[in-house]
Amino acid sequence: MDLAKIEQLVDLVARSSIAELDLTQDGTRIRILKRASAEASAVPAQPANRIKLEAPALHHRESPAPEAAADIIVPAPMHGIFYRAAAPDEPPLVEVGARIEAGQKICIIEAMKTFIDIAAEAPGVVLAVLAENGEEIAAGQALFRIGPAGSS
């Protein structure tokens, strides 16, 4: 994998709300993590020749849900193709009514021929899936509505 491709991936993670990208291609593994720091400017740049690259934390913009103040809208962290399942012949990763845990994979987005796992940031119950499987989505587009863990 060339340096330009790695720089594109670091930039993709930095501009999105995903916390981690783990990619293996042609025997090379790249893992990009975002620091959980409140001050993005306090994070020094990391050398580009390391396999583990860290991008600065971004401020998360929360979208208020008109249905209920406690509900969380999960936005698309980037432009790409939305997939509910890990493979075409597998069941969706989550269904409406499913209880999810923080860090649980809830969907996959294909961007730049790379499949990126999107994980829940908090526990709760899936109240709605707001995008269609295989649909092109825009950065910031609402994908899921998640209610508090006590919801049904």
Higher pLDDT, 27 or 44: 27
48 within a domain of the structure (yes/no): no
Residue 152 binned pLDDT confidence (cut-offs 50, 70, 90): low
What pLDDT is recorded for position 94? Answer: 96
Quick check: 64 pLDDT over 50? no
| pLDDT at 113 (0 to 100) | 87
- Sign, CA dihedral 86-89-94-98, equals negative
Instruction: Report the domain count for the chain.
Output: 2
Q: What pLDDT score does 117 carry?
A: 93
pLDDT band at 149 (very low <50, low <70, confident <90, very high): confident
**Tokens 């994980």 belong to residue:** 119
Has residue 65 been placed in a domain? no
Q: Are residues 139 and 77 in the same domain?
A: yes
Q: Cβ(106)–Cβ(82) under 8 Å?
A: no
Residues 20 and 80 in one domain: no
Does residue 44 sit within a domain? no
Residue 8: phi and psi, rounded to 5, are: -60, -40
In this structure, the answer to whether residues 82 and 129 fall within a common structural domain is yes
CATH at 128: 2.40.50.100
Q: How confident is the model at residue 19 (pLDDT cuts 50, 70, 90)?
A: confident
Say if 63 falls within a structural domain: no
Q: Do 24 and 89 reside in the same domain of the chain? A: no
Sign of CA dihedral 102, 104, 106, 110: positive
pLDDT tops 90 at residue 97:
yes
Does 151 or 7 have the greater pLDDT score?
7
Q: Is 52 a member of any domain?
A: no
How far is C-alpha 90 from the geometric centre of its chain's CA atoms?
Answer: 20
Tell me how far apart the alpha carbons of residues 148 and 72 are, in angstroms, rounded to a whole number.
Answer: 8
Mean pLDDT, all residues of the chain? 76
**Six-digit token string for 1:** 């994998």
Band (pLDDT 50/70/90 cuts) for residue 15 is confident
The reported pTM is 0.56
Domain of residue 126, residue span:
72-147
Given a contact cutoff of 8 angstroms between Cβ atoms, the answer to whether 145 and 67 are in contact is yes
Which of 8-12, 67-71, 110-114, 129-133 is predicted least confidently?
67-71
What's the pLDDT score for residue 37?
Answer: 47
